[in-house]
Amino acid sequence: MPRGLKGGFPTYWTTFGQGPEPALLIHCSLAQSGVWGGLAQHLSGALTMTAFDLPGHGRSGEWDGVAEIQGLCARMAADCAGEGPVDVIGHSFGATVALRVAHLFPARVRRMVLIEPVFFTAVLGGDARLRVLHAAETAAFEDAMEREEHEAAAKAFLGLWGDGTPWARIPEEQRARLAAQMPLIAAAGPALYADVGGLLAPGVLEALPGPSLLIEGSRSPEIIGAINTVLASRLPGAERSIIGGAGHMSPSTHPHAVSTEILRFLRR
């Protein structure tokens, strides 16, 4: 599969499908481009999809510990999109990257599908109850990171944001890789909690290309629904969909249900 510089960064990418419309897939933290395989199978008749590995993931290069990671990912994504416009489908952190791409490179984005965007700062500043709840949910991860116990941090992170697989059932080699990736989770903090990309500034979200589809699982952390409520109120032509019985990892656990909603949106 192809490798090269995207956004000036050593990038691996792959393609799925042979549909008439181009699309770009941006995976979540701790995953890699192949995670889209199940979903892409259902979308292959409608879309030709390019998926790439984020820094420090899959077969792309290692993050240098310096570059602001959401902005770097957005530049990589824009290069993978080519001249555009393409439909951009992002999951979790990848959904926040999709928003950043649409802001920085609007000509390359036609529509967005944002699955479980973890854009926490969109709601935490104005909802004290959610701040307390989110702090409680992430306390084990934050404590482990403060102690530099990355395996404990990975276990706590996946307990909240994973697909439900018990930590003990994850192969030892994979657990070690996940632990080594914890600094990447911390590196996303300025974008997710402090809006370093300036997406919440007045008029920014309202000016992004649209329409957009916001997807969440019915069993996802409450903060995801709150984030989607805020985004839906500001993104042009936004609509929402809830995947019954799904949690945060719905593209992997419920690919048929998620793809059905995406196809409905694209064919609207």
Which residues are CB-neighbours of 254 under 8 A, at least 6 positions away? 217, 243, 245, 246
Tell me what pLDDT residue 189 has.
Answer: 97
What tens digit of pLDDT does each residue of 147-203 get? 999 999 999 999 999 999 999 999 999 999 999 999 999 999 999 999 999 999 999
User: In the prediction, which pLDDT does 22 show?
Assistant: 98
Report which DSSP code applies to 168: G
Residue 1 has pLDDT above 70, yes or no: no
pLDDT at 268: 83
Task: Give all domains of the chain, ordered by start, each with its CATH number.
Answer: 3-124+188-266 (3.40.50.1820), 128-187 (no CATH)
In this predicted structure, the answer to whether residue 122 has a pLDDT above a threshold of 80 is yes
pTM greater than 0.95: yes
Round to whole Å and give the CA distance between 76 and 262: 23
pLDDT exceeding 90 applies to what percent of the chain?
97
Give pLDDT, residue 126: 86
Dihedral over alpha carbons 117, 115, 186, 119 (to 10 degrees): 0
Q: What is the mean pLDDT of residues 109-126?
A: 96
Output the pLDDT for position 2: 86
Which token pair is 31?
Answer: 């995953």
Distances (CA, A) of 267 to 43, 44, 54: 12, 14, 29
Q: What's the pLDDT band for 66 if we cut at 50, 70, 90? A: very high
pLDDT digits (tens, 9 = 90+) for 4-52: 999 999 999 999 999 999 999 999 999 999 999 999 999 999 999 999 9
Phi/psi at 43 (5° precision):
-100, 0
Q: What percent of the chain has pLDDT over 70?
A: 100
Rounded average pLDDT over 67-86 = 96
Confidence of residue 84 (pLDDT cuts 50, 70, 90): confident
